[in-house]
Chain A
């Protein structure tokens, strides 16, 4: 059985689901960021798979993927800086304890 586009889409969907489950169930803010990175990668894998199977015929798909990777790197740098700032303030990185705005 040869590999079709559906195999890659299914793999990316499973990875996205794992990342979503991790982001929703874990308590540590850093692991939530890790789960978000997993979801990012699953989405970018879709773009590259679409390019390989010639749904997109130009290299624009790879450009999109590359810019997405750069944005993801900027996002994780900012996210981790925020986690460190929150840790300084609350002495904790537990997302359940960050409820000052809850009212």
Chain B
């Protein structure tokens, strides 16, 4: 588990850093897919198999493709941004804010007793139990989520098509 943790963490961090720093927008999304895969790997490592599969299906299968389509609809396909204005006021203030917040959270984690919890032997697979819970105790939130997703997707289509509809 230890070796796997470090390797997957390195891949995840690399994907995240590349996703927010690369110039070419399509490359950004490819790095984002690497990041999503790393997170899915962590879920498998943490014995949350179902969430790992959900992560790959929803994030890589739906969200990443959606972002790719948005890039293709708003820019030329290569999608390169204009010249970079590194180290401007915006860059420094943004990076400093993020660094301060990150340092505060990391300091809090170091001090907290909870952080020293060792690896436990969590149940092998929880897929069966999750399936049962989703149609018994959690059926109302589950259906509400389905309605919310439908409403959100219809709303997204209406927003994106607004001017096309008005022109008719």
Question: A residues engaging B (CB < 8 A)?
Answer: 1-11, 13-28, 30-31, 33-35, 37-38, 41, 44-45, 48-49, 51-55, 59, 62-63, 65-67, 69-78, 80-85, 87-89, 93, 96
Contact = CB atoms under 8 A, between A and B. Distances in A.
A49 B162 contact: no
A89 B62 CA distance: 26
19 contacts: A2-B1, A2-B2, A5-B117, A13-B105, A17-B98, A20-B98, A20-B101, A24-B94, A34-B32, A35-B19, A48-B51, A49-B46, A66-B50, A69-B54, A77-B66, A80-B156, A84-B70, A87-B73, A87-B74
A67 B51 CA distance: 11
A18 B12 CA distance: 11
A34 B67 contact: yes
Contacts of B90: 24-25, 96
A4 B119 contact: yes
Interface in B114-165: 114-120, 122, 126, 129-130, 133-134, 138, 141, 145, 148-149, 152-153, 155-157, 159-160, 162-163
Contacts of B19: 22, 31, 34-35, 38
Interface string B91-126: 101110111011001100110101111111010001
Given A51-B48, A52-B46, A76 B67 contact: yes
B135 to A, nearest CB: 12
A93 B20 contact: no
A28 B9 CA distance: 27
A77 B160 CA distance: 10
B130 A38 contact: no
Contact of B20 (A9, A35, A67, A75): A35
B149 A73 contact: yes
B48 A62 contact: yes
A31 B94 contact: no
Given A25-B91, A62-B48, 8 more contacts: A11-B42, A19-B16, A26-B20, A38-B35, A41-B39, A62-B130, A63-B138, A84-B70
Contacts of A7: 5, 9
Contact of A38 (B9, B20, B91): B20
